[in-house]
Amino acid sequence: MAVLIAIANGCLILTVVVLSAYAIRHYWFTLYRLTLRHPRDFMEVVGFVTPRISVLVPMHNEEKVAADVLQALIECDYDWNKLEILAINDRSEDRTGEIIDEFAAKHSIVKAIHRSEGAGGKGAALLEATSQATGEILMLFDADYFPGRAMLKMLVAPFCDPEVGAVMGRVIPHNTGASVLSALLGLERAAGYQIGQQARFNLGVTPQFGGTVGGVRASALRAVGGWNAESLTEDTDLTFRLVVNGWKVAYVNRAECYEEAPESWQVRRTQIGRWATGHTDCLHRFWPALLGTRHLSPAQKIDALFVLACYWTAPTLVLGWIASLFLFFTPAAHQVPLFAVALAFVGYQLFGNQATFFELGSAALLDGNSRRVYLMPLNLLNFFASTGAICSALLRYYARRISGSQGPGWHKTRRYRAKGNGNLFRNGAASLFIQGANGLYTRNVEAHQP
């Protein structure tokens, strides 16, 4: 029994140490972001000659949203002489290809790419489109996104720094009124971008490039070997290949793009499972290169490892719960002799658990969020749900690694929009989104869901 108690105590200490490290990081980022007087903003730079850009929009069965994203891109205020939109129909079985062809026929800057063979998935689609792109900068948007009119200019601005290899914009769910889950994810996304990404960028550690609202320098992409079509998270994969090779990743908080967040738990479960698997796979592939690279400072390396290992916190937490449960039924364990140990444990429980909520609340404060912030306590349920989904995804991932079997294929996230005919931007609600992306108020957008 003494051995079991010692093991349980060991597991508990491990959990406390790991999660405390993440909690401290959350507080540091949040306080840093909250008090930041002058965040770096590349939009303040003048005299930068805008480069030629190629916008890549991979689509697989996206008939509900294809027209909206293409219309939004056409309405962007980027010089058409320096712009091409590569709409990639990746083996769609619905009207996606037809919609793309209609746009290509009407607008000279839209080029249709139809894929009917080869490997599937976003990485493979990007690989093919990149070979046809003529821009110095490749911009990426998911098909369910609404880029605002100024979006392309905002995302291009950081490339005035020749060391910047990739740039990431801010993702904001527009369907936060659709379900409790999407509202909670709205808060979560706000924390991740408004606080996490912005703090990382300003602290000089690496913000993550996401392949949904972002851009990559074509020469940097070529230099690091192009897209990895095998990866479930090709954006994370590219981020770390860029940084270990000395490129910087920039983040533009005001480049807001609107997405559809999952509205049901089943969809969210698949999404977060894919992220956990892809992310953890990147951890296994990149940690030696990250530790060995001369291009990153120790702080940057540590933070990069924190980012890549973030999904490990879920199984660590479960380990802690199991240990606590065992110790609860062991009377000797209740006789905590050291006041300091007990104080540290309770302190960890309070500060550790509240760290992410401090981040959520601070993001809501900076954004001027409305009543949605009242839902914050419900995020505990989301947290429990995500922990289970991540653990089960990681279990499957490690089982596959041990058995040497093939990884799961790409799962497309379900779209909820009722129809997409390119007219979304002409109704009042959608125009609010676009104004918001241009920097005007979007406070009341929640009340006008499309």
Q: Which of the ranges 1-9, 16-24, 384-392, 410-418 carries the binding residues for other proteins, by CB under 8 A?
A: 384-392
> Could you say whether residue 251 binds other proteins (CB under 8 A)?
no
Whether the CB-CB separation of 289 and 243 falls below 8 Å is answered with: no
Contact pattern for other proteins over residues 252 through 281, marking x by CB under 8 A: -xx---------xxx---------------
At closest approach, how far in Å is the CB of 370 from other proteins? 8
Whether the CB-CB separation of 203 and 32 falls below 8 Å is answered with: yes
Residues 168-187 interacting with other proteins (rule: CB under 8 A): 180-181
Given the complex with other proteins, which of 62 and 256 has the nearer CB atom?
Answer: 256
Residues 297-326 interacting with other proteins (rule: CB under 8 A): 321, 325
Residues 59-118 interacting with other proteins (rule: CB under 8 A): none
Count of residues of this chain found to bind other proteins when the rule CB under 8 A is applied: 74
Question: Strand 137-141 and strand 110-115: pairing?
Answer: unpaired
Residues 117-156 interacting with other proteins (rule: CB under 8 A): 150, 154
Alpha-carbon gap, residue 144 to 402, rounded angstroms: 36
Nearest to 272 by CA among 184, 205, 207, 356: 184
Given the complex with other proteins, which of 81 and 339 has the nearer CB atom?
Answer: 339
- Binding other proteins by CB under 8 A: which of 246, 306, 438, 448? 438
Residue 84: phi and psi, rounded to 5, are: -135, 145
Alpha-carbon gap, residue 58 to 86, rounded angstroms: 8
Residues 10-49 interacting with other proteins (rule: CB under 8 A): 27, 31, 33-37, 39, 41, 43-47
At closest approach, how far in Å is the CB of 360 from other proteins? 9
At closest approach, how far in Å is the CB of 358 from other proteins? 6
Query: With b meaning 16 or more CB within 10 Å and e meaning fewer, what string describes 367-399?
Result: bebeebbebeeebeebbebbbebbbebbeebee
Quick one: 109 exposed, middle or buried, by C-beta within 10 A (0-12, 13-18, 19+)? middle
Task: With H, G, I as helix, E, B as strand and everything else as coil, classify residue 19.
Answer: helix
Q: Which of the ranges 5-13, 64-72, 233-241, 335-343 carries the binding residues for other proteins, by CB under 8 A?
A: 335-343
At closest approach, how far in Å is the CB of 228 from other proteins? 32
Nearest to 206 by CA among 335, 29, 448: 29
Q: At what angle do helices 180-190 and 265-292 cross, to 10 degrees?
A: 20
Q: Cα separations (Å) of 338 from 12, 333, 335, 362?
A: 16, 12, 9, 35
The Cα diameter of the chain in Å comes to: 77
Q: Cα separations (Å) of 244 from 64, 211, 264, 428?
A: 38, 18, 37, 45
At closest approach, how far in Å is the CB of 162 from other proteins? 18
Given the complex with other proteins, which of 92 and 382 has the nearer CB atom?
Answer: 382
Q: Which of the ranges 80-88, 244-252, 286-294, 378-386 carries the binding residues for other proteins, by CB under 8 A?
A: 378-386
Nearest to 398 by CA among 276, 290, 258, 302: 276
Q: What is the DSSP letter of 196?
A: I
Residues 189-248 interacting with other proteins (rule: CB under 8 A): 194
> Could you say whether residue 443 binds other proteins (CB under 8 A)?
yes
Q: Cα separations (Å) of 421 from 69, 71, 176, 260, 436?
A: 10, 9, 22, 16, 21
At closest approach, how far in Å is the CB of 267 from other proteins? 11
Residues 336-375 interacting with other proteins (rule: CB under 8 A): 336, 339, 342-343, 346-347, 349-351, 353-354, 357-358, 361-362, 364-371, 373-375
At closest approach, how far in Å is the CB of 300 from other proteins? 23
At closest approach, how far in Å is the CB of 372 from other proteins? 9
- Binding other proteins by CB under 8 A: which of 204, 328, 395, 411? 328
> Could you say whether residue 385 binds other proteins (CB under 8 A)?
yes
Alpha-carbon gap, residue 391 to 155, rounded angstroms: 35
Q: Which of the ranges 96-104, 118-126, 329-337, 423-431 carries the binding residues for other proteins, by CB under 8 A?
A: 329-337
